[in-house]
Structure 1
Amino acid sequence: MLATDGVPRRSVTWAWKVFAPVIVLIVVLSPITDPSGANEIWHAGFLRLTQENLLRAVVMGLRVPALGFACFLTLFTTSQPMFVRGLVSIGVPYKAGLTLSTALRYIPVFFSIFGSVMDAQRARGLDIGGDGGAGGKRRGPLARMVARFRSYMPVIIAVLIRAYTMSRNVGWAMETRGLGMPGVRRTYHVTVRMNAGDWLLLAITAGGTAAAIAVMLLA
C-alpha cells in the first residue's frame, strides 16, 4: 500500500528506523518474561528459549510496524489540513482534530530535534555511550548504564527547551489566526462532506474492528 500510494522511500526508511529499537526490545524481553514452550532451543538459569516463545516474541514485535504503518499510511498520504477537515466532517470538533493532527505532525520533528541535539553534544565531546572516553578506565555494565543515563540529561534538557519554544511559537501562530475566538464561525474555502461511499467504508471498517476485538476477547 505504501508503494502504490507513492510514499517516498526515505519516509519508509525513517519509519523502520523508529520501529527497529522497539521491535528488538520486544523480541529480546519477551522470552525472558515468558519461558513457556515444549520445544526448548537453549536454557541458561532462569532464561529459557523455546520455539514457541521465540515465535510469539517475533509476532508481538511485528505488531509494532503493523500498527505504526497503519497510522503513517494516513499521515504520509494526507496533508494536515485535509486530515483535520476529514475528522471535522465526521463530527469531531475542530480543536480536537487540529490537536491530534498537530501532535502526529510533530512526532518526526521531535525525532529530528533529538538527533540534531545528540550530534551537537557529541561534537562538544559528550560521551553518550558511557564508556568513559578514549583514555578513561572501562566501566562495568551497570556503571555504563548509569553513566549513559546521566549523559542523556543534557540532551533531554536541550530537546525540552527547543520543544517548548516551538510549541509556544505554534500557539502564537494559532492565536494570531483567530483560533478559539468566541462568537466566530469558522469558514472553509473548500467544504469536505462525507458521501454514501465514505459512510459505507467507515461502517465496514468500524464493524470489522469490532468483530476482530470480539474474536480476540472470546478466543
Structure 2
Amino acid sequence: MTTAFLQRVSNDTAVAHLDMRVKFALLVMASTIIFIWNNLLLQALVLVLMLALMLAARVPAATIRRLILILSPALIMIAVIQGLWSPFGVTPVVTVPDSVPWVGGWHIFYVEGLLFGLAVCCRLLIPMLAFQLVFMTSDPRDIVLGLARIGVPYRVAFLFSTTFRFVPLLFEEMEGIKEAQRLRGVDIDSLGLVRKLIAMARMLVPLVMICLSKAQLMEIALQAKAFTGSGDRTYLHPTREQLSLAEKLLIAVFLLAPVAALAARLVYGFGGSVL
C-alpha cells in the first residue's frame, strides 16, 4: 500500500511526456506561490490545478485519496489551531456564555482563523501532490538527466536518483519484516498504538542492517563498472536535449507566476487577505 505512492503510472499521457525541466519548474511554482498568497480561494485554485494534472496523468484516485487520508490528522489540527489562535480572527464562531465563571464572554473560535487554517492546509497539500505527480510520471533516469541538464553536478543528481530508488525498497523491506513477524504470531498492524511504536522501533535494527548490506552491494557494483560520476557521458534520449516551444512556454509560465504573484502582493496587496 505504501509503495503505491511511488509507483509509476502510465507514460502515455501528455504530463508523463513532459520534459523533466518543465516538471521541475512546476515544482518550483507549487512550492513558492503558496507562501505568497494568504487567500483561500487562490490556494484552492492551485490545489484544483494539481488535482486536475494528477487525474490527467492517470494517477489513481485511490492513491490521491489515501494520501489525503494520511495527512488528514495534521490538516484537522492545523485548521483547529488557526481557528482558535489565528491573528486574523475577527468574526467569532463560538462564544463562551457569560454565565461561565472566569471565561464567560470569551471568543474561542473565529471564522477568519478557520479560513486561514484551510489555506494553510492547501499549502501543505499542494507541494505534496506536486511532488507525487512528478515522481509518479517520471523514470528515475529521466530525473537524473533533467537535473544534469539544469546544471546540477552529475554526482549530486545520481545520489538523488539513488535515494529515490531506495525509498520504495525500504518500504518493501519493512513489509517483509512485518510478514516475518506475522509468521511468528505477531501481527504488528493489530497492536495498540504504544505497542506498535515499540515494535516498529525494534524493526529499525534489521531494516538498517539490510539497507547497509544493499548499499555495500551497490558500491561493489559501481566499482565493478568503473563508475566515476563524471558528467561527460551519453544519455538514453539525446533528442530531448532541445525543448519544444510549448515546453518553453510552460517553463516561462511556471517560473513567472510566483514572480507576478509576489509583485501583485507587494504593489496591490493581491492575495493578502484570507478571502
Question: Do Structure 1 and Structure 2 share a fold, with TM-score over 0.5?
Answer: yes
* Deviation of the 1:121 alpha carbon: 5.9
Q: CA deviation at 1:2?
A: 1.4
CA gap 1:55/1:118 in 2 versus in 1, 3 angstroms: farther
Name the CA distance, whole Å, in 1 between partners of 2:70 and 2:76: 11
Structure 2's unaligned 5+ residue stretches are 1-52, 97-102, 270-275
1:16-31 alignment to 2 at 5 Å? 16-31=68-83
Q: Label 1:60 to 1:113 Cα distance change in 2 as closer, same or farther (>3 A).
A: farther
Kindly indicate whether the alpha-carbon contact (under 8 Å) linking 1:128 and 1:151 is maintained by their aligned counterparts in 2.
no
Of 138, 149, 158 in structure 2, the residue corresponding to residue 78 of structure 1 is: 138
Q: Is the 8 A contact 1:42 1:50 kept in 2?
A: yes
Match of 1:188 among 235, 248, 261: 235
1:37–1:52 Cα contact (<8 Å) kept: yes
- 2:127 aligns to what? 67
Does the aligned pair in 2 maintain the 1:90–1:194 contact within 8 Å? Answer: no
Alignment of 1:164 onto 2:164: no
Q: Any idea what SS the aligned residue of 1:49 has?
A: strand
What SS is found at the alignment partner of 2:55? coil
SS in 2 for 1:42: strand
Tell me the CA shift for residue 128 of structure 1: 4.5
Offset from partner CA, 1:176-201 (integer Å, 9 cap, x none): 4433267x942224313033524443
AA at the equivalent of 2:160:
L
The equivalences for 1:109-128 within 5 A come to 109-111=169-171, 113-114=173-174, 124=186, 128=192
| Secondary structure at the counterpart of residue 193 of structure 2 | coil
Which residue pairs with 1:38 in the alignment?
A: 90
Inter-partner Cα distance in structure 2 for 1:43 and 1:161 = 56
Inter-partner Cα distance in structure 2 for 1:47 and 1:108: 47
Change (3 A) 1:40 1:129: same
User: For 1:113-136, what per-residue CA distance to the aligned partner results, in whole angstroms no more than 9, with x for missing partners?
Assistant: 556656766853775423xxxxxx
Secondary structure in structure 2 of the residue aligned to 1:7: coil
Q: Identical aligned pairs, as a percentage?
A: 20
Partner of 1:143: none
Q: What root-mean-square deviation, in Å, do the aligned CA atoms of Structure 1 and Structure 2 show?
A: 3.7
Q: 2:193 aligns with which of 119, 129, 137?
A: 129
**Residue pair 2:91, 2:112 contacting (<8 A) in 1 also:** yes
Number of residue-to-residue matches in the alignment: 202
State the TM-score, normalized to the length of structure 1: 0.68
